[in-house]
């Protein structure tokens, strides 16, 4: 390997060494990237304070990535910033550093952002709020399920809701077990289904049976809307296109996380105690091992 090219940016040097950084050094790296490169253009004392480490740690990091001291480290940051300011195309720095626009990461990121803003226009926030009210109602049991592709989303939602409240059950991926789970669905229960194309006929059957048993169905689907919507009290249609052979489930995950956050907010009094209890039990479990 040739000797380290001295023209490398601070960001590149940090990434190069990121594997061998200590805890304090990682804090500094995080602080710097949090506002790059401005965060590094203050005094060493101030930079250390912002990252919540000592000044020697800043110095050690600067030396580890090949600078003589803090001033030369800072000089490099200034040089990068100057170069960037003179180059008007630099607005792309918010994407992957120096990767071309056509890089899959950047194309996927654009698609994700468009899906997200498109979905927010598509979704009726009253449906969202009404769904949250259902999820926050502890008198109702929750049943969460998804198709072959979306099942991990259902699992994710179920794990988080379980931390927030009791009475959450995940319907397994394997169809043959479904009748058993249908048995446990009762009046006033809520069935949350992820169903995106291609829609699974068996999910429609399941949702129909659940509804007959008195459950309320909430559907998270794509913009072409699964047939389950006819049975659902609330439908959240999302955009899921991606530059890929398969659809993107980023926005469905976004909705799942938002539902969790909103549900926790809506019933904070009950939830707070439960989370603290969970923490305590986890700690005990860890120590007991």
Partner DNA sequence: TACAATCTGAAATTATCGCTTCACACGCGA
Partner DNA sequence: TCGCGTGTGAAGCGATAATTTCAGATTGTA
> Under rule CB under 8 A, which residues in 114-133 are in contact with its own copies?
116-118, 120-125, 127-128
Residue 30 makes contact with its own copies by CB under 8 A: yes
Distance in angstroms (rounded) separating the CA atoms of residues 191 and 185: 8
Least Å from the CB of residue 52 to its own copies: 12
Least Å from the CB of residue 39 to its own copies: 9
Residue 287 makes contact with its own copies by CB under 8 A: no
Distance in angstroms (rounded) separating the CA atoms of residues 23 and 35: 19
User: In whole angstroms, how far apart are CA 213 and each of 163, 173, 204?
Assistant: 27, 21, 14
Least Å from the CB of residue 25 to DNA: 6
Residue 221 makes contact with DNA by CB under 7 A: no
Cβ atoms of residues 158 and 260 within 8 Å: no
Kindly compute the dihedral angle of the four CA atoms of residues 28, 34, 37, 41, in this order, to the nearest 10 degrees: -60
Degrees to nearest 5, angle at CA 204 with 203 and 205:
90
Residue 89 makes contact with its own copies by CB under 8 A: yes
Beta carbons within 8 Å of 242's beta carbon, 6+ residues apart = 108, 111, 112, 115, 248
Residue 19 makes contact with its own copies by CB under 8 A: yes
Which residue from 120, 137, 227, 262 is in contact with DNA, where contact means CB under 7 A? 227
Query: Nearest to residue 268, comparing CAs of 142, 145, 136?
Result: 136
Per-residue binding letters, 48-77, with DNA (x by CB under 7 A): ----xxxxxx-xx-x-----xxxx--x---
Residue 244 makes contact with its own copies by CB under 8 A: yes
Which residue from 4, 41, 184, 273 is in contact with its own copies, where contact means CB under 8 A? 41
- Interface residues toward DNA, by CB under 7 A: 22-25, 43-46, 52-57, 59-60, 62, 68-71, 74, 227
């Amino acid at each position: 390997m040739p000797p380290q090219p001295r023209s490398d940016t601070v960001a590149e040097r940090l990434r190069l060494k990121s594997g061998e950084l200590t805890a304090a050094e990682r804090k500094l790296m995080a602080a710097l990237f949090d506002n790059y490169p401005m965060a590094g253009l203050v005094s060493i004392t101030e930079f250390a304070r912002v990252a919540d480490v000592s000044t020697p740690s800043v110095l050690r990091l600067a030396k580890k990535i090949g600078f003589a001291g803090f001033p030369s480290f800072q000089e490099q940051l200034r040089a990068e910033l100057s170069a960037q300011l003179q180059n008007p195309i630099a607005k792309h720095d918010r994407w992957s550093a120096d990767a071309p626009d056509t890089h899959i990461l950047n194309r996927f990121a654009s698609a994700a952002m468009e899906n997200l803003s498109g979905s927010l226009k598509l979704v009726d926030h009253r449906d969202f709020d009404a769904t949250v009210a259902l999820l926050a109602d502890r008198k109702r049991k929750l049943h969460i399920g998804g198709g072959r592709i979306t099942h991990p989303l259902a699992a994710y939602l179920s794990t988080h809701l379980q931390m927030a409240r009791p009475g959450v059950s995940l319907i397994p991926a394997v169809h043959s077990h479904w009748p058993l789970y249908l048995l446990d669905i009762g009046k006033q229960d809520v069935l949350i289904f992820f169903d995106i194309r291609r829609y699974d006929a068996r999910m429609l059957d399941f949702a129909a049976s659940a509804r007959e048993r008195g459950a309320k169905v909430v559907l998270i689907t794509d913009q072409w809307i699964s047939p389950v919507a006819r049975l659902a009290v609330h439908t959240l249609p999302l955009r899921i296109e991606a530059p890929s052979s398969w659809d993107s489930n980023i926005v469905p995950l976004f909705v799942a996380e938002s539902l969790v956050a909103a549900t926790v907010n809506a019933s904070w009094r009950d939830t707070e105690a439960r989370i603290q209890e969970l923490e305590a039990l986890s700690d005990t479990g860890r120590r007991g091992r």
